[in-house]
Chains A and B, each alone.
Chain A
Amino acid sequence: MNSHEGDVQARITADAVARRSYGKLVAFLAARTQDVAAAEDALSEAFASALADWPRNGCPSNPEAWLLTVARRKAIDMHRARHRHEIAAEQLQMMAEGLDAAATAAEIPDQRLAMMFACAHPAIDAGIRAPLILQVVLGLDAKTIASAFLTSPAAMGKRLVRAKEKIRQARIPFSVPEREELPDRLETVLDAIYAAFAEGWTDPGGTDVARRDLTEETMFLARLVAELLPEEPEASGLLALMLHAEARRRARRSQNGDFVPLAEQDPALWDTQMIDEAEALLHRACIRSVIGRYQLEAALQSAHVDRCRTGHANWEEVVQLYDALFALAGSPVVAINRALAIAETDGAAVALDAMPEIAADVRLAEYQPYWAARAELLARSGACDDARQSYEIAIGLERDPAVRNFLLQRQSALSI
């Protein structure tokens, strides 16, 4: 092998390990010290060493163990350098022992779930939980995360640093909570993953939520949690929900790139494998009869799919599911989608009464789906002028040009 081929091979192996094991290695390195930033630094130095060493000496048979050994040494060196005056001999000892044990074991214990619980701990600001998980488990850089969350990269970087500092200083434990605490704590983890998945998507019907930038990454996280906690129905529910949304991705745009609402989609373009998997997950989750937000949302997706496939109107069932969801999580977002379903069973006038009031939540004033739904309902009840005005605001609030054009067409289709 010449040196160029060696470089290429080293990079390919390093990339593969990074994709497969980045979070596992960070979680393992940081689990005892709670110092995520130090673990990330050590690991990134280990990756740099790998790119220098592997082309010369060949890729190791167990690259994870190799990286862990190097990262461990770097971590201890860095820790020594930083805390020279307050030599925490005991802590160093503990670190060395734990890391040694791991380096000799064939399997690195998977503590990613524990790390996610630390990142989504109630003591961590809710807005930074999802970015933090994306960074520490998947190794995404602040720039990528900032773009997805529409935040300045510099500000995102600072928030991430601060959150890691908080974990270290407050000694937020890397552990999966005990039974009685688990449902509540799990909810914060699932919410963070879903926030990253659904960020920024605003389809008028609320039935096609899907993240544009981070879909693959967040699906990976949802799958990871569902696999590591197979007994938790909400973890399965979230994965089912996301699979349903993702399954319809191809059908959501025409060949010209136009937005296609759910009712007009061609079910033949849906990914049946994903839908089947979602249905199986949902079925398994429901057996445990512990109802929760994500199972209900997945059940709604399932009902929409069933209706579109069979042509059999099931709006009564959909409204019931939204009632249950609203009782559980009375958010204005749920209320909007519930009102749209009510329009199908009881007509637009009843649905308009069921819409949330802006006065109740000022954020609605800048929430595109609220205005799109209102416009739709007003149009159906014949209030064309009001409908036009609501469409106007919905169009102005939309970021996605395809959805914007869809709304513009709806608006111009109104009779004068």
Chain B
Amino acid sequence: MQYLLLLYVNEGVFATMTKAQQEQGVAAYMAYTEALTKANAYKASNRLQPISTATTVRIADGKSQVLDGPYVDSKEQLGGFFLIYAPDLDAALSWAARCPAASHGVVEVRPIWNMQA
């Protein structure tokens, strides 16, 4: 099974951290990626630019509407994702708990829709 881990963190915090703390934070994510890879659980991941760069598009009644900013404005913002392989939800939750974002934000775990099934 594939699961998408959506990382919600307060993106303002990173800028307030010392350089050493930032480095430590980045190192934790790199180690997490390495552990996923070693366990054959890694599929893909990426970090997103801050929500100030977000733009939303929708088309309703034949008219397009484009807005600056994210779809949902919240205390914690979607800041990145990991796409992982896990045999079941419990295993995926286990990986979610190890994700550094789980200790300074929230990790949402979503199973990927299997189009073959």
CB of A297 within 8 A of chain B? Answer: no
Are B94 and A393 in contact, with the CB atoms below 8 A? no
A393 partner residues in chain B, CB cutoff 8 A: 31, 34-35, 38
Residues of chain A with a CB closer than 8 A to B31's CB: 391-396, 408
Residues of chain B with a CB closer than 8 A to A391's CB: 31
| Interface segment, one of A81-89, A150-158, A348-356 | A150-158
Q: Which of B8-16, B63-71, B98-106 contacts A (4 or more CB under 8 A)?
A: B98-106
Q: Given A396-B32, A396-B34, A396-B35, are A401 and B103 also a contact pair (CB < 8 Å)?
A: yes
A404–B98 CA distance with the chains assembled, in angstroms:
10
Give min CB distance, B74 to chain A, whole Å: 22
B51 contacts partner chain A, Cβ-Cβ < 8 Å: no
Contact A399 B34 (CB under 8 A): no
Asked if B54 is at the interface (CB within 8 A of a chain A CB), the reply is no
Mark interface residues in A143-162 (1 if CB within 8 Å of B CB, else 0): 00000001110010000000
Among A397, A400, A401, A405, the residue within 8 A (CB) of B35 is A397
- CB-based contact B93/A396 at 8 Å: no
A365 to chain B: which residues have CB within 8 Å?
38-39
Q: Which residues of A contact B34 (CB under 8 A)?
A: 392-393, 396
Enumerate A220-276 residues with CB–CB distance to B below 8 Å: none
Is A150 touching B35 in the complex (CB atoms < 8 A)?
no
Number of contacting residues on A, CB 8 A?
21
Q: A200, A366, A398, A399: which contacts B39 (Cβ < 8 A)?
A: A366
Shortest distance from the beta carbon of A343 to any chain B beta carbon, whole Å: 23
* Residue contact B100 to A150, C-beta cutoff 8 Å: no
Are B89 and A404 in contact, with the CB atoms below 8 A? no
Q: Give the dominant DSSP class at A's interface.
A: helix
The distance in angstroms between the C-alpha atoms of A396 and B104, with both chains bound, is 15
Contact with A along B28-62 (1 / 0, CB 8 A): 10111111101100000000000000000000000
Size category of the B interface is 20 to 34
A316 CB to closest chain B CB (Å) equals 35
Answer yes or no: B17 CB below 8 A from chain A CBs: no
Interface contact A155-B94, CB-CB below 8 Å: no
User: Closest CB-CB distance, B34 to chain A, in whole Å?
Assistant: 5
Rounded to whole Å, the gap between the CB of B21 and the closest CB of chain A is 10
Q: A151 contacts B93, CB within 8 Å?
A: yes
Q: Does B22 contact A (CB under 8 A)?
A: no
Residues of B within 8 A of A408 (CB): 24, 27-28, 31
Q: Is A150 in contact with B24, judged by CB distance below 8 angstroms?
A: no
Residues in A whose Cβ lies below 8 Å from that of B89: 151-152, 155
B97 on the interface (CB 8 Å rule)? yes
Chain B residues near A399 (CB, 8 Å)? 97-98, 102-103
Question: Cβ of B73 < 8 Å from any Cβ of A?
Answer: no
- Chain A: CB-nearest residue to B33: A396
A398 touches B98 (CB 8 A): yes
**Nearest residue in B to A127 (C-beta to C-beta)?**
B90
The residues of A that contact B32 with a CB separation of less than 8 Å are 395-396
Task: Choose among B93, B98, B103 the residue with the greatest number of A CB atoms under 10 Å from its CB.
Answer: B98
Chain B residues near A392: list those with CB within 8 A. Answer: 30-31, 34-35
Interface centre among A151, A155, A200, A366 (most CB of B within 10 A): A366
Interface 1/0 per residue, A381-416 and B, CB below 8 Å: 000000000011111111111001100100000000
What residues of A have a CB within 8 angstroms of the CB of B36 in the complex? 396
The reply to whether B93 and A150 contact each other, CB–CB distance below 8 Å, is yes
Please provide the chain B residues from 89 to 117 with a CB less than 8 Å away from any CB of chain A in the complex. Answer: 89-90, 93-94, 97-98, 100, 102-104
Contact B98 A397 (CB under 8 A): yes
Query: Within the complex, which residue of A151, A200, A366, A404 is in contact with B28, where a contact is CB–CB below 8 Å?
Result: A404
CB distance from A105 to the nearest CB of B (A): 44
Give the shortest distance, in Å, between A202 (CB) and chain B (any CB). Answer: 10
Chain B residues with CB below 8 A from A155, complex form: 89-90
Nearest residue (CB) in B for A404 is B28
A-B pairs with the 8 shortest C-beta distances? A396-B35, A395-B31, A396-B31, A401-B103, A396-B32, A399-B97, A397-B35, A392-B34
| B positions within 8 Å CB-CB of A | 24, 27-28, 30-36, 38-39, 89-90, 93-94, 97-98, 100, 102-104
| 15 additional contacts (CB under 8 A) given A366-B35, A395-B28 | A151-B89, A151-B90, A152-B89, A155-B89, A392-B30, A393-B34, A395-B31, A396-B32, A396-B35, A399-B102, A400-B103, A401-B100, A404-B100, A405-B24, A408-B28
Pick 23 A–B contacts, CB within 8 A, sort by A: A150-B97, A151-B90, A155-B90, A365-B38, A366-B39, A366-B94, A391-B31, A392-B31, A393-B34, A393-B38, A394-B31, A395-B27, A395-B28, A396-B34, A396-B35, A397-B35, A397-B98, A399-B97, A401-B103, A404-B28, A404-B100, A405-B24, A408-B28
